[in-house]
Structures are given as C-alpha cells and as structure tokens.
Structure 1
Amino acid sequence: MPIQTIYQRPGFLLRRAHQISASIFERACAELALTPAQYGVLCIIQEQAGIDQSSLARALAFDKVTVLRVLKGLEERGFCQRTISSENRRQMSVSLTAAGRRLLQEANEPVQKAHDMLLSPFNAAERAQFMALLQTLTTQLDGEARASFVPMSAQT
C-alpha cells in the first residue's frame, strides 16, 4: 500500500485535525494555561453545578480516569472543588469556585478566536456542511466509541 493511501484515510485525517484543533486552542488560551479538556470540564460544571464525576465524564465522552485527572489539575489550581455528594455518599459532586467562574469568563474571547481560526479555511456554507457531517459521523457511530456520550440535555 502506498504511503499516500494512509494520508487519505479518514482516521489519519481526523487525528491530524484533532491535533491542529488542540494546538490552535492551546495557543489561543496559552496565557490562561487552559486546555480543551479543562475548558470542556469547566463549561459542564458551570452548566450543572454539583454534577457527579461519572455524569461529567459522560457529558464530555471522557473515560473516568481522564475526567479525574483533569479535575485534580483544576482543583489544584483552585478552579473547582469536589465534595461528597449529599444524594449519594459514594459519589463526588463538583462545582466551580469563584476563580473557576472568572477563568471561564476570561476564556470567552480566546476560545472564540480559536473556534474562528479552526473554521477559517471554510466559507459559511462549507462550515455548516462540515459541522453537519461531523455531527452525522459522531451520532451514527457513537456506539463504536470507547467512552459513552450522554449530552447534558439528556442527563437532566
């Protein structure tokens, strides 16, 4: 198989697109030392204060180990706090601190810049088509993923 064949495979291109997306995001948010995973976690916690770690993992399609690693880092930086759930003593509830809310506010502009940069190769119609195709791909093949995905609207 010629090497060019590998470069045309969807898996290779999706992995490369993810690398580019993460790099653009991290560069835009460098002053905040914020990664895409951290931003996602903070956004979900802001939307659902007191969410348990398992629901948080499902809301972002993370495995439990990944969400725990991200939470520990955010907690060490003072952006969130974990407490024992009042509803289930075996679960931890997660909420934002005042510093976490401020960080999300400060992230609005650089996150939007990263979003705009990532989609900049496309015109408006291509952007809509690209997003629709990504939605179709992820929705139709969701059962093939290693980590389950349950959007926030479906959890509440």
Structure 2
Amino acid sequence: MTPHELYQRPGFLLRRMYQIAAAVFENACGDLGLTTAQYGVLIIVHSEPGIDQTRLARALAFDKVTVMRVLRGLEERGLVQRVASGRQKTLALTDAGLALLTQARERAEAASRRLMSPLDSADQAQLVRLLQTLVNGLAHEARAPFVPLER
C-alpha cells in the first residue's frame, strides 16, 4: 500500500475528520474549558434528569473508564453532582453546570455549522445519512454499546 492509497481509506479519513471536528469544537468552546465529551455529558444529564452513570455511558457510547474520567472532571469543577436515589446514585447538573451548558450551546451549534460548511445542505443531509448507515450497520463491532435515549 502506498501513502496515497492510505490517505483514501475510510478509516484514515474518518480519523482525520474527527481530529478536525475536535479542533473546530475546541476553537469554539476551548475558552470555556469544555471538551466534546464533557459537552455531551452536560447535554445528556440536562435532558435526562436523574440518569445513572451506566445509562449515561450507553447514551454516549462511552466505556466505563471514559465516563468515569469525564464525570470526575465535571464534578471537580462543580458542574455535575451525584445524588443519592435509593440504592444507586444518579446525576444532576449544578447551577454552574447549567450556566456553562447555556453558555456553550450556541458556540457548539456554530461549531457544528462550521464543520459542515464545506457541504451544501443536500450533501450535509447525505453525509449524516451515510454515517448513520455505517454506525447502525457496524454497531456490533463497537467496544462500547450505544443505547440512544428515547425522545
């Protein structure tokens, strides 16, 4: 295989696109000290009050170590708290977490628009459909399960 052939492989292009996506998000939200993983946790905990750590991990397709690491960082910053709920602990945003999420939302939306800006609207929709087809068709290969939250 030549470097040129490598650069045309889907895995290489997806990895490179992820690097770019992370950079675009960081450019938009970096001064808030927020990563894409942390933003995802804030979104899910806000939309699903009382969610437990296991459901959170599945809703974001995180493994146990990743969700623990991200939660620890958010807890240390006073953005998320664990709440005793019967025999288990659930998660809730603090007032500071809600304020940061509110501040980050428009920036994250702008980052998403920037990420898709090289494509026209039809190509954007097609890209999302193709990515969903790949994700759904190969989900059994993933190391971490993905269980989307119901609307």
Give a deviation string over 1:92-149, Cα, whole Å, max 9, x none: 2111001111111101221011001100010011101011111111111111100000
Shift, 1:84, TM fit: 3.2
Look up the match of 2:61.
61
1:95 aligns with 2:85: no
Q: Hey, what's the Cα distance between the residues in 1 that align with 2:89 and 2:15?
A: 33
Q: Hey, what's the Cα distance between the residues in 1 that align with 2:98 and 2:2?
A: 50
Shift, 1:49, TM fit: 1.1
Specify every segment of 5 or more residues in structure 2 that has no aligned partner in the other structure, as ranges. Answer: none
Name the aligned partner's letter for residue 53 of structure 2. Answer: Q
Q: Is the 8 A contact 1:52 1:85 kept in 2?
A: no
Choose the corresponding residue for 1:143, options 135, 140, 146. Answer: 140
Name the aligned partner's letter for residue 138 of structure 1. Answer: V
TM-score (norm 1): 0.93
Q: Hey, what's the Cα distance between the residues in 1 that align with 2:16 and 2:84?
A: 39
Q: Is the 8 A contact 1:45 1:51 kept in 2?
A: yes
Which has the higher mean CA deviation after the structures are superposed, 77-86 or 5-14? Answer: 77-86
Q: Hey, what's the Cα distance between the residues in 2 that align with 1:92 and 1:3?
A: 50
Shift, 1:58, TM fit: 0.2
Q: Is the 8 A contact 1:58 1:148 kept in 2?
A: yes
Q: Hey, what's the Cα distance between the residues in 1 that align with 2:90 and 2:27?
A: 31
Specify every segment of 5 or more residues in structure 1 that has no aligned partner in the other structure, as ranges. Answer: none
Look up the match of 1:33.
33
Q: Hey, what's the Cα distance between the residues in 2 that align with 1:135 and 1:33?
A: 29
Shift, 1:3, TM fit: 1.3
Q: Hey, what's the Cα distance between the residues in 2 that align with 1:20 and 1:121?
A: 13
How does 1:2-81 map onto structure 2 within 5 Å?
2-81=2-81
TM-score (norm 2): 0.96
Look up the match of 1:128.
125
| Identity percentage of aligned residues | 57
Q: Hey, what's the Cα distance between the residues in 2 that align with 1:143 and 1:85?
A: 32
Give a deviation string over 1:1-51, Cα, whole Å, max 9, x none: 211111111111111100100110011001211110000000000011111
Name the aligned partner's letter for residue 89 of structure 2. Answer: M
Q: Hey, what's the Cα distance between the residues in 1 that align with 2:149 and 2:33?
A: 26
CA RMSD of aligned residues (A): 1.1
Q: Hey, what's the Cα distance between the residues in 1 that align with 2:89 and 2:138?
A: 31
